[in-house]
Amino acid sequence: MRSLLGNASLEWLPRFKFVVIALILFAVVPFYSPALFGQGATGAINGTVADSSGAVIPSATVTLRNAATGAERTALTNATGTYVFPAVIPGTYTIQVGAQGFTAAKAEGLTLNVNQTLTQDFSLNVGATTQEINVQATAVHIESSTAELGTAIAPREVNDLPLNGRNFTQLLALTPGVSPISTAQNAGGGGQWGGNTIGSFTFPSVNGQCNRCNFFLLDGFNDGQVFMGMVGTTPIIDGLQEFKVQSHNDSSSYGGALGGIVNVATKSGTNEYHGDAWEFLRNNALDARNFFIADTIPYKQNQFGGVIGGPLLPGRFRSGAPKSWFYASYEGYRSVRSSQSLLNVPTPAEMTGDLSALTKTQIFNPGTTRPDPANPGSYLRDPFKCDSGGSPLPVTNGFQGPGTPCNKIPVSLINQNLVKYVQADLPAIVDTRVAGTNAIDPTPNRIRQDTVSLRLDHQFNDQTGGWLRYSGFTQPDRFAVSWPGSTQNLYDHGYQAAASVTHTFSGGSKVLTAGFGRNSAQTNFVANLGVPRDLWQQVGFSPAFAAIFRQSGSLNPNVNYSGFNNRPGGHIQDTHMSDVYEWKGDFTWVRGRHTFQMGADFQTNNSRSPIEYIDLGFGPAQTSNLEAPQGVVTG
């Protein structure tokens, strides 16, 4: 039986499927998409081809060649002599132009930055096509095609400037309109809610907007941390091609952020193998001793890693054949530093109720609280009293007999279960040589981070190319909590993965890009307390009472008492700082002198942070003087 298609070629079927999928994507996504469209870490190159008299030349062949990989794209000028290459990966390019009856022209050394629209016009002379005119690229191309404001940080700055902790966000301070605001919850690099932001980092306010009003993109896909509004997975500095801080974006391609768009592009492999390795070491060998401490604080920090990139299966590189490149990077970070926190904890005498050395202000017996007959609505309290030998008087029905006011609480009024609870891990009293402190927490802070990134680029043919990348980190940390024997254990982990395919239709006037991204960052807090799991039984608390405070089988409320360091307690938190799935597509159509762009970006955006902890607070109000003037705190 003869096919209804006859002898027609079936080569159009894959392209037809690609178009159908894209049309379905564009038909469905706009109904769900947030105000965030078509954001990308690519750029565009356009221009006009004319003859020496200024008359435009239609149907001229324009070839764009990546200087590093040799990958090529071809377009034809339209009736107005215009050519456009959208969705171009940042890098250095060569453009070659040819037309029947004209000499060829070539422009070399064209540098395209992130989200830049570069314009390169050509003027061809009448002559043989075998002749060629070389046009040298100028040092700086003015952004004449868009009204966007932005500053690109080029590879030289990224690679050469010294950075404490090798965090790229420090370079944001080089751009106009950026003010670092790293305070309060936004102050801590090196884990916790800061993700994998090791060392010094910049949490920027762009053009006066809040520092949680920015949007971070990695290769054009969401890399923001929903919980804090900062970067989620921080890329390895040696794996960055460049990045750009964009603001005042009038294009519908950008939105969803009042501040700046931090657009980061990663490196891809080239036709040659290249690699680097590094090790940065810091320790306390040359540190000066703190005046109040007998020796230098132990400190060890290592930051090491390497990158390598090049072609995959280089022997298969030939004209028209598929080409692939890879770029892989790894960085490790290890830090151990003693906290050496100075503490003020209850002394053995204070645990028995003798507060004479703690305060000179008279404390009062709360058990004697009674109405003041001379002042209705007011109350009276008696001070604690001692006998002539300085011992607290016994208590009968809440009251003490005649004696001398003192700051000693009778043992009978002290809950011995709470005393046992506090004494279970009470730090040893030492001479710190610092007034107001009597103990030291030497517990080391430990940070261990491993970050990896792998990018694969593939050129299927002159019309279709794509890439995929995975960047991830794991970071188990252990931090001191200003209480010897207790730590806060954290496990930060996350990744950002993305893939994108770009197809240029015949003639180069239509370009379709589709991609998928995944952004996940999570941190888990668990308190590791230096107390037995059955402490609640040892101190005599009832099961009903202990059940209020037990987490993972341990009794561990946070105990906060005025005048002393707080005793840490249980703290369990599972924070999903980012949980984003992203689908996006863009279509560019050059029609005459007009360029039409349309696209959609659909993102799920989930953040959750269940937290469990209980505080017990004790203040001076219970032993204060009720006859003191309003606003005066005693006790």
Examine the pLDDT at 24 and tell me if it is beyond 50. no
Share of the chain above pLDDT 70, in %: 82
Sketch the domain layout of the chain as residue ranges: 149-266, 348-437
Average confidence (pLDDT) over 291-303 = 80
Beta-bridged to residue 614, according to DSSP, are none
What local confidence, expressed as pLDDT, does residue 3 receive?
34
pLDDT of residue 379: 92
Q: Which two tokens stand for residue 390?
A: 């300085």
Q: What is the DSSP string of 566-611?
A: PBP---EEEEEEEEEEEEEEEEEEEETTEEEEEEEEEE----B--E
Q: Are 328 and 300 in contact (CB under 8 A)?
A: no
pLDDT in tens, 523-541: 887 878 877 777 778 888 7
The predicted-structure confidence for 600-629, as pLDDT tens digits, reads as follows 999 988 777 777 777 778 888 889 988 875
Per-residue pLDDT at 191 exceeds 80:
no
The pLDDT value recorded for residue 229 is: 77
Report pLDDT for 101.
Answer: 87
Cα distance between residue 329 and residue 470, in whole Å:
11
Task: Say whether 105 sits in a helix, a strand or coil.
Answer: strand
Summarize the confidence of residues 466-472 as an average pLDDT: 96
> What is the reported pLDDT for 542?
79
Q: What pLDDT is recorded for position 293? A: 67
Q: What is the pLDDT at residue 538?
A: 83
Specify the pLDDT at position 466: 94
C-alpha span between 508 and 73 (Å, rounded): 8
Please give the pLDDT value at position 4.
33
| Amino acid 6: pLDDT | 34
- Residue positions counted in the chain: 635
CATH of 149-266, one of 1.20.1250.20, 2.170.130.10, 3.40.30.10, 3.20.20.70: 2.170.130.10
Read off the pLDDT of each residue in 19-27 and give the average, rounded to a whole number. Answer: 43
pLDDT band at 29 (very low <50, low <70, confident <90, very high): very low
- Which of 240-244, 448-452, 610-614 shows the lowest per-residue confidence on average (mean pLDDT)? 610-614
Highest mean pLDDT among 151-160, 164-173, 180-189, 460-469: 460-469
Measured CA to CA, the distance from residue 278 to residue 333 in angstroms comes to 12
Share of the chain above pLDDT 90, in %: 35
Q: Check residue 145 and give its pLDDT.
A: 55
Predicted confidence (pLDDT) at residue 36 exceeds the cutoff of 60: no
Spatial CA neighbour of 541 closest among 556, 526, 527? 556
Instruction: State whether residue 132 is helix, strand or coil.
Output: strand
Return mean pLDDT, the chain: 81
How far, in Å, CA of 469 to CA of 240, rounded?
A: 13
Average pLDDT over residues 266-290: 88
pLDDT for 55 equals 92
The whole-number pLDDT of residue 414 equals 92
Rounded to whole angstroms, the Cα distance separating 426 from 483 reads 8
Span of 13-22, 344-353, 378-387 with lowest mean pLDDT: 13-22
Q: Bridge partners of 193?
A: none
Q: What are phi and psi of 349, to 5 degrees?
A: -65, -40
The arithmetic mean of pLDDT across residues 572-594, rounded, is 85
Confidence of residue 563 (pLDDT cuts 50, 70, 90): confident
**pLDDT of 11 strictly over 70:** no
Task: With a cut of 70, say whether residue 137 has pLDDT above it.
Answer: no
More confident residue, 58 or 11: 58
Residue 318's pLDDT band, with cuts at 50, 70 and 90, is low
Instruction: Identify the residue whose tokens are 């209980």.
Output: 614
What Rg, from alpha-carbon coordinates, does the chain have?
34
- Summarised one tens digit per residue, pLDDT across range 491-525 is 889 999 999 999 999 877 889 999 999 999 888 87
At 86-123, the pLDDT tens digits run 889 888 999 999 998 899 999 999 999 888 889 999 99
Long-range pairs for 369-373 at CB < 8 Å and ≥24 separation? 369/626, 372/627
**Count of C-beta atoms within a 10 Å radius of residue 276:** 12
Q: What is the mean pLDDT of residues 579-603?
A: 89
The mean per-residue pLDDT over the stretch 263-269 comes to 92
